[in-house]
Structure 1
Amino acid sequence: MFDLKELERAHAIVGQAVPATPARGWPLLAERLGTEVVVKHENHTPIGAFKVRGGLVYLGRLKRERPNTPGIISATRGNHGQSLAFAASRHGVPAVIYVPRGNSVEKNRAMKAFGAELVEHGEDFQAAREEAERRAQFAGLHMVPSFHPNLVLGVATYALELFRAAPDLDILYVPIGQGSGICGCIMARDLLGLKTEIVGVQSTEAPSYALSFAAGTIVTTETSNTLADGMATRIPDADAFALIRKGASRIIQVTDDEVAAAIRAYWTDTHNLAEGAGAAALAAALQEKSKLGGKRVGLVLSGGNIDFDLFKRWVMADAPQAQKVVA
């Protein structure tokens, strides 16, 4: 997909807008897991999530290769759209972003604040994406997919930072939405010649990649009703799945209750706010706590963009009560 020199060049491009994010150990998290822990804080980027890196590299290449592009269009549950809106505004390119109805109010506001035209359509991400693809065809806009080599190249820059700061990680837990983050981690690890075990994390309510990994072929799901919207994927990307199948050791499924507990743990132990997908890696590590003794564990805190109302209903309540309120 790319070599180390390309990755380093991408890191320089991203660095013009995004300073390197911390890779930090936290004593209370270490106590909670019973082992040494390093957290990669992608919640500290200008959009509060790792996706900004992919947008910057993708838009930079698009402007060089197709300088007359009239505009871009894409679909998202939030962070991908914020990334594209942020990068498009820096390059002076109009951006249209489709989201499903009922999407995160605060992520919608952020995308519009970054300059995107926001359109609500359909009941889930897949429906929004299909409508965005139709509009791209008749409006002559450039359709930006959720998974693309240039997006992976961009987001892999956080993995480059992490592995250079902590090359001795035994295991790294990474949340999976459409797959760019974990693919970037796999690529960076392999290009640096490291032996870190990479474990993907999905929601029990949106387990398409986990089911595909177990079956050895792509498996889709009918719904993706997790409160951790960054992992709400029904249809795996074939290229992402191929790389994950080759480079990850396994994919763990976590419940919304486990994710809520992990969000609370991040807050009490580090005073960092994590969104659902951002806390999924910690939820998975807590699930496997008995296996982690003596290992140096990496956790990708991929983002911190959680609506305050959702935080109150889901995270601040006890898990059984939260399920009743959401239902």
Structure 2
Amino acid sequence: MQETRLDIDRIQAARRMIDPIFLDTPLYRCEALEPGLGCAVNIKLETANPVRSFKARGTELVASLLADSGSRDVVCASAGNLGQALAWSGRDRGLNVTVVASRHATVAKLDRIRALGARLELVDGDHELARARAAAIAQHQGIRLVEDSLDIETCEGAATIGLELVDTMPSLDVVLIALGGGALATGVGHVVKALAPGAEVICVQPSGAPAMTRSWHERRVVTTDSTDTIADGVAGRYPIPAVLDDLLVVADDAVLVQEASIIAGMRMLLGHAGLVVEPSAALGIAAILEDRDRFAGRHVVTIVCGSNVDMDAYQRWVGA
């Protein structure tokens, strides 16, 4: 495999630094989903932890390194899940965490960030404006800026999911990975391609937030002027060049799915697996729904990456 920014030895070391409460999340075959999807569906449940998303695997590394260095102040931009994770990891290590988010972010995510003790600053714009504001705060105050997907620790933390997949599923055919900034896709993808090279790595993004997928297909950074998707956790507009370079090495394909398929995936996960998930976590199921023939008869893993959802919106979407 061509080189990426990641390294298997560092990822193995990362697993030893992460609080075990975030490791070894459930991985199981969900037979109830299979009649409707036509393939063997395996769920990697990254919501079974205190912050209900995979993001703490990376923030555990960031916060540990900061605490060891004596630094106490850190800022990040977040659609919600990274902010919660950094707040949780920072609280346990005595860090002063500032999170910048859009005023339009999911209320449940913002409330949880506050409850975990972080300082929350809201901006009147989307996630890209929050990224710019977080960078300005870091520069002005001279503190650590955590940039999701660009900071290698966020990718290494996510990559530990890949270690657990290949350790548990030797007959893995396909991994479906939600694609936003790219930490999850590049991290898991790197491990799968290094340790289970016969498995196909497919990234999935909403058609209403296609920047990284378009960039992967065109092999250059493609930006968009806006996003229009309920999957707020993956709704970026400006791909990071270094992350795209990694994604070009580890991903076999990147696909876009429609909003109706995302909602159908959320309904299936609720009805057949008993899982309440945020839209980003249903992207893998949406991909199967839109191309059943591609996955027919194969052993597929979908990473259910988050369950921090506004319940009023969720009930409107799924009719629960």
Work out whether the TM-score is over 0.5. Answer: yes
| Aligned partner of 2:193 among 175, 190, 212 | 190
1:163 paired with 2:141, answer no
**Paired residues for 1:85-104 under 5 Å:** 85-104=87-106
1:53 paired with 2:52, answer no
1:151 paired with 2:154, answer yes
Counterpart Cα distance in 1 of 2:245 and 2:260: 30
Counterpart Cα distance in 1 of 2:95 and 2:303: 30
State the AA in 2 paired with 1:138: H
1:233 alignment partner, SS class? coil
Counterpart Cα distance in 1 of 2:74 and 2:11: 24
State the AA in 2 paired with 1:210: T
1:305 corresponds to: 308
1:209 corresponds to: 212
2:119 corresponds to: 117
* Shift of residue 78, structure 1, vs aligned partner: 0.6
* Shift of residue 3, structure 1, vs aligned partner: 3.1
CA RMSD of aligned residues (A): 1.4
TM-score normalised by L of structure 2: 0.95
Number of residues of Structure 1 aligned to a counterpart in Structure 2: 315
| Aligned partner of 1:31 among 12, 35, 51 | 35
2:162 alignment partner, SS class? helix
8 Å CA contact 1:3, 1:191 repeated in 2:
no
* Shift of residue 193, structure 1, vs aligned partner: 4.3
1:8 paired with 2:42, answer no
Q: 1:233-257: per-residue Cα shift (whole Å, max 9, x none)? A: 1011111111111211111111221
| Aligned partner of 2:79 among 77, 80, 84 | 77
Q: 1:245-297: per-residue Cα shift (whole Å, max 9, x none)? A: 12111111112211111000001110011111001111012112112222111
1:242 paired with 2:273, answer no
Counterpart Cα distance in 2 of 1:316 and 1:252: 27
TM-score normalised by L of structure 1: 0.93
Q: Which runs of 5+ in 2 are unaligned?
A: none
1:10 alignment partner, SS class? helix
* Shift of residue 63, structure 1, vs aligned partner: 2.4
Counterpart Cα distance in 2 of 1:2 and 1:167: 22
State the AA in 2 paired with 1:167: P
* Shift of residue 175, structure 1, vs aligned partner: 0.4
Counterpart Cα distance in 1 of 2:312 and 2:192: 37
8 Å CA contact 2:173, 2:300 repeated in 1:
yes
**Paired residues for 1:164-183 under 5 Å:** 164-183=167-186
* Shift of residue 6, structure 1, vs aligned partner: 2.2
1:316 paired with 2:297, answer no
2:297 corresponds to: 294
2:47 corresponds to: 43
Counterpart Cα distance in 1 of 2:202 and 2:196: 17
2:22 alignment partner, SS class? coil
| Aligned partner of 2:277 among 247, 270, 274 | 274
1:321 corresponds to: none
Q: Which runs of 5+ in 1 are unaligned?
A: 318-327
* Shift of residue 180, structure 1, vs aligned partner: 0.2
8 Å CA contact 1:75, 1:129 repeated in 2:
yes
* Shift of residue 15, structure 1, vs aligned partner: 4.0
Counterpart Cα distance in 1 of 2:72 and 2:207: 40
* Shift of residue 196, structure 1, vs aligned partner: 0.9
